[in-house]
Amino acid sequence: MIAAAKKIIVVEDDDDLRETIVYALASDARSVTGASSAKEFRELAAKEHFDLAIVDINLPDDSGFAIVRSLRETTATKIIVLTGRDTITDRVEGYTHGADIYMVKSTSQAELLAAVESLLRREKPKSAERGWRIDDDDGSLRAPGGHKVTLGLRQTAFMKRLMRSPEKAVNRNELRKVVGIDDDSSRALDMFVARLRRDIEQQAKCKAPIETVPRQGFAFRR
């Protein structure tokens, strides 16, 4: 049986550098996607699960550290920070936010490839040792006790959006767009969330981590 290709995303606003990295890493064993901004990354990450992310810090619309922190809090994605910033303070901040490896852009392609292969070989932590998370292999939701919760594509997109901003309310209008609900009334979204809560609780054997925030929307509670 042929193993599925590992999925990598390169978040870099320099078009030439991004394309060079994507080309250098692409192979039968690795599927590589590029994103030129934090916004583009988030749109892609809402639809697809990545095994490894290579993230620049100086992005045009947000700090790469915000992406690193979000990935570390909500996924098991391996993270390489690849940036021109090389101070001790920057390195410490990168590791504090959750980077597995911090590299500067003068790094050779051979060293970057070795780092990628090393991270992709590492085993993921056991799900029972983690909180709620999205499994990067199959898109399922994993409960703290290790139970696997199989979700539909729209349900996964909804949970990933909430989990990008833990403990913070995400407004209803944004969530309707995430799951493709055109109805402006609250009822359609409320029914969607009710079904999602039921599906999670039936499979996870515990309370769903979705909290209704009055007059705002919904929040992910860890």
For the domain made up of 6-121, the CATH class stated in words is alpha beta
The Cα–Cα gap between 43 and 142 comes to 22
The Cα–Cα gap between 114 and 171 comes to 42
pLDDT in tens, 204-222: 888 999 999 998 999 998 7
Task: For the chain, give every domain's residue range.
Answer: 6-121, 127-220
Task: Give me the residues paired with residue 10 across strands.
Answer: 34, 54
The structure's pTM equals: 0.58
**Which strands sit side by side in the sheet containing 101-104, from one edge to the other?**
30-35, 6-11, 52-55, 78-83, 101-104
For the domain made up of 127-220, the CATH class stated in words is mainly alpha
pLDDT in tens, 148-173: 899 888 898 899 899 988 888 999 99
Tokens in use for 14? 């320099």
